[in-house]
């Protein structure tokens, strides 16, 4: 059996296999929709955690929101998760699929290059030429496999696909059947087994790229995934997820609470456009999401570890923060510098003084030796 350490990013059902086993035992006498591995109550506990069962919290959200998502998957409608980039839509869809189907890997990645074959099925053309359109020659898509098994299929970034490609889902979502016209008449229909459904995700920034048809929208229940508004919860999540990444990478470092505060408050204030004291902050064009904050913290730890330092410093946080925030718009570096000069600099205490000094030492934010005069 393949070990977790042999996989760069284990899927949720592998990473949390022990918790799923605990919930399966706890769940034996509870009602569940046909084809589901766990009951709706157990799925909620898997996502939001349960201290008594030893199940950790994996997603920050309200119970009512998670319950609505779960109920959608038990209906004949799919679940559409929309929101800003970095709000953990994909992670939530992975967790739900792992809990409901014990398999979160049936995934279609939407893009401008996604074709109808990627959604339905394709062919092994060597076998097709020698045998004709047989089941052995058919290469099933994740959607095809999900219908056959009765599992949850994830469709990531659906609005990145052209409209006519998105609408390939119409008959599947409404009739729960997929036609393979190349097969014989008694074999050409693939009927979805109980438990099949689709979770799609879309960024609100991309919704105008390829707007979904009204017909397809009617076949989904829409739920908005909001950024985390509670700073204390966001700090807790960033620290927990960053330290988990260090452990998985074999890096003997931990993210200090002081660094977590500086990083998360910075992301929160720039994202919201307002400081904790109510002062207006000009936001950067990049989405300052919780996922990006975790990425900055993790990269900072790797920077420190691989270059011979025993702990993460604020200079690494600043370096990776700039790399995360400044991606497209050259004006963003001025906005970030203004944030440090007018918000961070005024907090003349503890970590904030050190944070400002670290920013002054950065060649883009301060007056380092490589800065233009």
Looking at the fold, whether 211 and 256 belong to one and the same domain comes out as no
pLDDT in tens, 114-129: 999 999 999 999 999 9
- What are the tokens at 171? 């008959």
pLDDT in tens, 179-204: 999 887 778 899 999 999 999 999 88
Residue 324 lies in a domain: yes
Looking at the fold, whether 208 and 255 belong to one and the same domain comes out as no
pLDDT at 243: 95
Greatest extent of the chain over all pairs of C-alpha atoms, in Å: 77
Angle at alpha carbon of residue 74, lines to 73 and 80, rounded to 5°? 20
Looking at the fold, whether 33 and 158 belong to one and the same domain comes out as yes
Q: How far apart are the first and last CA of the chain?
A: 60
pLDDT at 3: 61
Looking at the fold, whether 314 and 214 belong to one and the same domain comes out as no
Looking at the fold, whether 237 and 93 belong to one and the same domain comes out as no
Q: Mark the ranges of the chain whose per-residue pLDDT is less than 50.
A: 368-373
* CB environment 20-31: b (16+ within 10 A), e (fewer): bebbeebbeeee
pLDDT in tens, 59-76: 999 999 999 999 999 998
Residue 353 lies in a domain: yes
Looking at the fold, whether 206 and 235 belong to one and the same domain comes out as no
pLDDT at 208: 54
Residue 366 lies in a domain: no
Residue 342 lies in a domain: yes
Residue 217 lies in a domain: yes
pLDDT at 373: 37
Residue 340 lies in a domain: yes
pLDDT at 4: 62
Looking at the fold, whether 153 and 204 belong to one and the same domain comes out as yes
Backbone angles phi, psi at 328, to 5 degrees: -125, -50
C-alpha distance from residue 302 to each of 18, 131, 290, 342 (Å) = 28, 52, 19, 30
| Structural domain of 332 | 231-360
Looking at the fold, whether 75 and 124 belong to one and the same domain comes out as yes
pLDDT at 330: 83
**Last-in-domain residue among 195, 224, 253:** 224
Q: Where are the beta strands (DSSP E) in the chain?
A: 78-83, 107-109, 121-123, 138-140, 152-156, 177-179, 189-191, 197-203, 220-224
Angle between the 257-272 and 231-249 helix axes, to the nearest 10 degrees? 130
Looking at the fold, whether 239 and 303 belong to one and the same domain comes out as yes
Q: Strands 152-156 and 138-140: what pairing?
A: unpaired
Element spanning 232, H or E = helix 231-249
Interacting residues of 305 by C-beta distance below 8 A, sequence separation 6+: 251, 252, 253
What three-state secondary structure class fits 145? helix
Looking at the fold, whether 148 and 256 belong to one and the same domain comes out as no
Residue 69 lies in a domain: yes
Looking at the fold, whether 186 and 248 belong to one and the same domain comes out as no
What's the CATH code of the domain at 165? 3.40.50.300
Q: If you search the block for the tokens 């001025």, which residue do you land on?
A: 334
Element spanning 135, H or E = none
- What are the tokens at 17? 């296999």
Residue 372 lies in a domain: no
**Last-in-domain residue among 199, 224, 249:** 224
Decide: residue 88, CB within 10 A, 0-12 exposed, 13-18 middle, 19+ buried: buried
**Last-in-domain residue among 224, 239, 262:** 224
- What are the tokens at 29? 């006498």
CB 276 within 8 A of CB 217: no
Looking at the fold, whether 212 and 268 belong to one and the same domain comes out as no
Count of domains in the chain? 2
């Amino acid at each position: 059996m393949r070990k977790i350490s042999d996989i760069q990013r284990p899927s949720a059902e592998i990473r949390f296999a022990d918790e799923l086993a605990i919930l399966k035992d706890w769940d034996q006498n509870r009602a569940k929709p046909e084809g589901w591995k766990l009951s709706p109550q157990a799925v909620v506990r898997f996502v939001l955690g349960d201290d008594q069962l030893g199940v950790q919290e994996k997603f920050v959200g309200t119970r009512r929101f998670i319950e609505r998502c779960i109920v959608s998957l038990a209906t004949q409608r799919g679940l559409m998760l929309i929101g800003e980039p970095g709000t953990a839509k994909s992670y939530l869809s992975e967790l739900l699929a792992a809990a409901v189907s014990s398999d979160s890997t049936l995934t279609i990645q939407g893009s401008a290059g996604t074709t109808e074959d990627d959604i339905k099925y394709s062919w092994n053309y060597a076998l097709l030429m020698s045998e004709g359109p047989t089941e052995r020659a058919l290469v099933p898509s994740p959607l095809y496999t999900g219908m056959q098994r009765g599992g949850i299929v994830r469709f990531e970034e659906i609005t990145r696909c052209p409209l006519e490609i998105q609408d390939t889902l119409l008959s599947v979502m409404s009739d729960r059947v997929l036609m393979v016209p190349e097969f014989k008449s008694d074999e050409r229909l693939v009927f979805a087994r109980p438990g099949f459904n689709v979770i799609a995700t879309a960024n609100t920034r991309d919704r105008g790229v390829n707007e979904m048809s009204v017909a397809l929208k009617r076949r989904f229940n829409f739920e908005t995934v909001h950024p985390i508004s509670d700073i204390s919860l966001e700090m807790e999540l960033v620290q927990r997820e960053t330290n988990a990444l260090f452990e998985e990478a074999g890096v003997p470092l931990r993210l200090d609470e002081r660094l977590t505060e500086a990083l998360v408050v910075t992301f929160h204030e720039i994202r919201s456009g307002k400081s904790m004291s109510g002062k207006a902050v000009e936001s950067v064009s990049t989405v300052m999401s919780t996922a990006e904050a975790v990425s900055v913290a993790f990269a900072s730890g790797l920077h420190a570890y691989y270059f011979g330092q025993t702990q993460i410093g604020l200079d690494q946080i600043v370096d990776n923060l700039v790399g995360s925030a400044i991606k497209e718009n050259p004006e963003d570096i001025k906005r970030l510098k203004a944030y440090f000069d007018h918000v961070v600099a005024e907090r003349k205490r503890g970590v904030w003084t050190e944070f400002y000094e670290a920013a002054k030492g950065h060649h883009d934010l301060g007056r380092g030796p490589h800065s233009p005069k």
